[in-house]
Structures are given as structure tokens and as C-alpha cells.
Amino acid sequence: MALQSSDKAPGAARETGSEKDPQPTSGDAESSPHPPKALDHDNEKPSVNDVLCGRGGGTNSHVGNTHWRSLVAANKRLYLTLAKRQKMLVAQSIVIAVRSQDPPGRFLQKDEKSGRWRDIGDKKAQVSPKFPEEKVH
């Protein structure tokens, strides 16, 4: 099975293992390569490769979100044909593709109280990368 990626992350969204030998990351925040954490600097702003989590025009129009949606769309047809375990691998490959960019993409959510951006970590980022369970036309 082959996954597609965009020009921004060539080859990054490929399958991590075979159907008989999948190699997913554990998904635990402690053992994940990217656990949830606040950004290092108070004035740190999201980069063009970051995916902004939340609602509204600001997140929808952000270039990192546009790239992420294109990765999801490119893999939707495949995703809908897979068993649950393989769907997890597709979701993980999309997270890896975002994080493999230069500079690395992050999955950020803004803390309403402090106004600071926080990386939500890999586990939350791959929970459901916008793959609605519907027919693909």
C-alpha cells in the first residue's frame, strides 16, 4: 500500500511497516517523539509548517493547515478501505510528514488563558486527522 505526500515533505508520508509487521509509535505522551509541551519562548509564533488546532478563519487559512488538509485528502480514498489498525498507520504517517518538514511542523493549540501556543503532541495529533467515514466520489 502506498501513501502519498505533497511536495513540501517528499516521501515523508509513506507506510511505516507492512500489514504483517506494522511499526506504529506507542502513542504514549512519555514515549512519543513529540509529547505535549508549551513552546519555549513567550513570543514564539507558529511557523508556516505548523498545523493550528482550533476553529475559525485563522486556523483554516494558515498555510500549514492547508498543507495538512492536502495530505489528508490525498490519503482519504486509501484510508476508507483499510482496517482500523492500518488506518492508525495512515494517520501516523501524516503526523510524521508534517513533523519531517524543514522547519519541523508542529500541531499547536492556543491556551486561552495565557495566549501561548502549545504543541499538543503526536497522540492527540493523530487521533482523527479529518477522515470522515463517508463514500469518496
**For the chain, what are the domain ranges?**
53-125
Q: H-helix or E-strand containing 74?
A: helix 63-81
Q: Which of 47, 49, 37 is nearest to 7 (CA)?
A: 49
What distance separates the 2 farthest-apart alpha carbons in the chain? 46
| CA-based R_g, the chain, Å | 15
The pLDDT value given to residue 6: 42
CA distance 84 to 102: 31
pLDDT tens readout for residues 2-31: 444 444 333 334 433 433 333 433 334 444
Amino acid at site 72: V
Residue 60 Cα distances to 15, 51, 88, 129, angstroms: 27, 9, 24, 14
> Structure pTM?
0.68
Which of these ranges, 13-27, 80-94, 112-126, has the smallest mean pLDDT? 13-27
Distance CA 106, CA 98 (A): 7
